[in-house]
């Protein structure tokens, strides 16, 4: 039997957003958020006091960012923003698309992390870079992580994890697959097994994401006007010698 599922359902950021604080925690995001904050400060030619976070999700990173900056978060999902506001009531959160939003103000730094994975064409990626450029003060830093690159993409990967909170038990299974390696899009299929007081509920969710070679990232950033330094983002949960490209981009004065 062949089951048909919606191509890009993103239920995790909609009806299933309540699972996000069960699957993740501010503590899990603290190490990377601290490193990103220090990297921004070290590379800024101005004092970095304000930070715009594009695609802030449920605010897990912001929980640490707010110790260093006055943060403004933007996300396309109102359900994720609701979680972020609960976790960080002192932060201003705005509903919007990172490709098109125009806040009419500039920040000392801009960051886009796992949300940038949702850009599926070079045009979308460039639009986010343009948004960052237009919202950044001269000499400010735009920091991004290229989590998936064509050079390192591993076909048909599956990860699973178990999470518990109160009377909810969650088994989360994630499969990454690229049905057409020629284009710049791939699929993440999520399976959620949720047991509440022993009663099982099952959900399937598909997310369409983007994968580009690292030169595309560099070329698009340069065309928008950024000066780029590529660094290695390493984390205590990565295996030895594993890293992700971290692009530290400065808007020239
Ligand atoms: C994995 S979550 C981010 C989680 C986040 N790191 C946190 O601290 O909770 C990815 C987020 O990207 C957002 N997103 C995807 N496409 C977007 C777009 N075009 N504009 C703004 N946000 C977007 C989703 O709504 C989702 O909240």
- Residue range 60-107, pLDDT digits in tens: 999 999 999 999 999 999 999 999 999 999 999 999 999 999 999 999
Ligand 1 centroid distance, CA of 56 (Å): 6
Report yes or no on 8 lying in a domain. no
The number of domains in the chain is 2
Same domain, 130 and 162: no
Q: Which residue among 37, 57, 95 has the greatest number of ligand 1 atoms within 8 angstroms of its CB, and so is best to mutate?
A: 57
The domain that contains 47 carries what CATH number?
3.40.50.150
Same domain, 129 and 102: yes
Domain end, chosen from 210, 226, 242, is at 210
- The Cα-based distances of 39 to 51, 65, 213, 233 in angstroms read 13, 12, 23, 10
Same domain, 229 and 241: yes
Residue 105's pLDDT is 98
H/E stretch holding 241: none
Same domain, 73 and 184: no
The domain that contains 171 carries what CATH number?
2.20.25.110
Ligand 1 centroid distance, CA of 113 (Å): 8
Contact call for residues 51 and 62 (beta carbons, < 8 A): no
Report yes or no on 7 lying in a domain. no
Same domain, 166 and 242: no
User: What share of the chain in percent tops pLDDT 90?
Assistant: 96
Which residue's CA lies nearest to atom 25 of ligand 1?
A: 77
Residue numbers of the domain that contains 75: 17-148+212-250
Same domain, 29 and 140: yes
Report yes or no on 1 lying in a domain. no
Same domain, 134 and 43: yes
β-strands 70-75, 50-54 pairing: parallel
Is the pLDDT reported for residue 225 higher than 60?
Answer: yes
Is the pLDDT reported for residue 145 higher than 90?
Answer: yes
Which residue's CA lies nearest to atom 12 of ligand 1?
A: 115
Report yes or no on 233 lying in a domain. yes
Pocket lining: 79 vs ligand 1, CB cutoff 6 Å: no
Nearest residue to 189 (alpha-carbon basis) of 205, 209, 171 = 205
pTM over 0.95: yes
Residue 185 phi, psi dihedral angles, 5° rounding: -120, 145
Same domain, 172 and 78: no
Pocket lining: 32 vs ligand 1, CB cutoff 6 Å: no
Which residue's CA lies nearest to atom 2 of ligand 1?
A: 57
Pocket lining: 52 vs ligand 1, CB cutoff 6 Å: no
- What is the position in ligand 1's atom list of the atom closest to the CA of 56? 5
Report yes or no on 71 lying in a domain. yes
Contact call for residues 205 and 12 (beta carbons, < 8 A): yes
Residue 7's pLDDT is 85
Report yes or no on 6 lying in a domain. no
Report yes or no on 11 lying in a domain. no
Same domain, 231 and 192: no
Same domain, 100 and 174: no
Same domain, 76 and 113: yes
Report yes or no on 76 lying in a domain. yes
Task: Give me the numbers of helices (H) and strands (E) for the chain, helices first please.
Answer: 6, 11
Pocket lining: 73 vs ligand 1, CB cutoff 6 Å: no
Same domain, 163 and 60: no
Mean pLDDT of 101-125: 98
């Amino acid at each position: 039997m062949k089951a048909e599922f919606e191509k890009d359902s993103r239920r995790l950021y909609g009806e299933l957003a309540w699972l996000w604080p069960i699957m993740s925690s501010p503590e899990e995001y603290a190490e990377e958020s601290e490193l990103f904050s220090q990297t921004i400060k070290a590379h800024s030619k101005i004092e970095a006091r304000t930070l715009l976070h594009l695609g802030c999700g449920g605010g897990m990173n912001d929980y640490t960012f707010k110790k260093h900056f006055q943060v403004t978060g933007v996300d396309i999902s109102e359900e994720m923003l609701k979680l972020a506001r609960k976790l960080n009531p002192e932060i201003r959160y705005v509903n919007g698309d990172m490709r098109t939003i125009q806040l009419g103000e500039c920040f000392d730094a801009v960051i886009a992390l796992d949300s940038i994975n949702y850009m599926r064409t070079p045009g979308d990626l460039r639009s986010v870079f343009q948004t960052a450029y237009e919202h950044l003060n001269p000499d400010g830093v735009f920091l991004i992580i290229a989590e998936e690159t064509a050079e390192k993409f591993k076909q048909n990967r599956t990860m699973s994890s178990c999470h518990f909170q109160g009377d909810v038990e969650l088994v989360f299974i994630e499969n990454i697959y690229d049905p057409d390696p020629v284009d710049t899009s791939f699929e993440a299929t999520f399976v959620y097994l949720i047991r509440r007081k022993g009663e099982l509920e099952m959900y399937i969710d598909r997310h369409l994401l983007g994968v580009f070679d690292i030169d595309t990232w560099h070329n698009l950033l340069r065309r928008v006007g950024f000066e780029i330094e590529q660094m290695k983002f390493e984390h205590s949960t990565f295996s030895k010698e594993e890293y992700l490209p971290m692009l530290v981009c400065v808007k020239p004065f």
